[in-house]
Chains A and B, each alone.
Chain A
């Protein structure tokens, strides 16, 4: 048979289906899409009026200080958490096996996931920034250099989170345990990576542990975008460390890709 169906067309169709599924599922809507926005609201209301960074010479209020952490967190939730839980469930309930039995090209499946994450992730960040600016009066950067930094942080963070999510999806033993197995470690990581706390306030051993994982670097990169320049001095290293950030996020991306290629399965372990 020589007639073939364009993998690109199937990928578009997959992305549409994935986006529909994501937004129709109430759990994912609240716990990954709206979560950073809700958290920002809670922080802003709970600590409203308090300023952070007196030493920087240009202190900012809590809402602005926590915005970069919420942006970084949102990226991880949408890429890592959505894929790790989603694929664990799809593997467990036989969706992946069913797809494998059709002529759908595997590349279209993964491109569909990428499309879904881009649409969901960018709309989440747009909504988060809009809420921060309009509801809490957070001043957003106007320099194009800062938005360029934002762009590479977003791309590296999302790509890395996505491949690591796909890799991690093999860890939960069943769909039932997937949420707990994925969400638990991610919450811990958020606490030690400077998302919920001021990173420099953490004990140095905990900072060192966090520095192994990508979220710390992603959050720091986002701080360099959304905080005034004076805050660079308040970082543990006294620098935004863009070079090491690119390096470490890229290493995680490559490691994730290698693990994916080697371990990805269309069927449950007990399903042969």
Chain B
């Protein structure tokens, strides 16, 4: 492997405007091979535009983009055979069964995975003969993923893969994605669920106004690991909140002052969601109370 291909994705100074309004405004990004990278950001921040440029669906106004060592805007079928894309919407091909669809799409790829194995991997064995129309939302999403991983991609794009899932289906889905990541597949995930990013991603990038505003592991994003703890308790019949770097000492003082058990005691650290909301400029409720 040469130095040029040591990163799965390399973006420098990416720009794209619609009718003069910048959607992506000088974005830089590196994603390593085998990494699970989550891209977070509010609607309209440039997330979809960025991902669609990486997937080869959109052109760009300026900047360098290399995905698996090639420019997506100039890449053909051979490059597409090395990536997998799971789009946000999943509709169409309603009258075709799971087995038929997986078998058919396998024919597009030079070196596909075994269709039966893929159907088993996404847990649709019992739905083999069922037409796409009759699948539930979650099953349909699993079919999308089956079609996305069928070509044995080196790089997999997942666009809001679990929207509309119930909690159990989401856990199953996470296990599936983790097993793919364990097999060495590079994964680019966009999601609105912060717990999903926290659970799956090696690193998280937050995009706002067309730029990456924070980039780190989920537990360190936005200085989260150095954030102060929030201690809540009840005193004189009123809820109290204090932000502190030394919660244990505070609780010891409270215990002494209140004579033993502290009523309504809770100690929390800012969640990934709190940090995310702060980064994109939305006041997070818990932080507003103390500041």
- A residues at B contact (CB < 8 Å): 1, 3-5, 9-10, 13, 17, 20-21, 24-25, 89-90, 93-95, 97-98, 100-105, 267, 272
Contact = CB atoms under 8 A, between A and B. Distances in A.
Contact of B92 (A94, A104, A267): A94
Nearest to A26: B95
A208 B109 CA distance: 52
A272 B87 CA distance: 14
Given A3-B111, A4-B110, A95-B91, A101 B100 contact: no
A103 B80 contact: yes
A31 B182 CA distance: 50
B151 A21 contact: no
A13 B95 CA distance: 16
Given A10-B107, A10-B108, A21-B95, A103 B151 contact: yes
A100 B107 CA distance: 15
Contacts of A9: 107
Contacts of B55: 101
Contacts of B77: 4, 103-105
Contact of B95 (A1, A20, A97): A20
Interface of B: 49, 52, 55-58, 77-78, 80-83, 85, 87, 89-93, 95-96, 100, 104-105, 107-111, 131, 147, 151
Given A20-B100, A100-B57, 12 more contacts: A4-B78, A5-B108, A10-B107, A17-B93, A17-B96, A17-B104, A95-B92, A101-B55, A101-B83, A103-B77, A104-B108, A272-B57
A102 B87 CA distance: 12
A68 B67 CA distance: 56
Contact of A98 (B56, B92, B95, B110): B92
B90 A94 contact: yes
Given A5-B108, A102-B105, A103-B81, A93 B91 contact: yes
A103 B108 contact: yes
Contact of A20 (B91, B96, B109): B96
Contact of B108 (A24, A95, A102, A272): A102
Contacts of B107: 5, 9-10, 13
B92 A101 contact: no
A102 B55 CA distance: 10
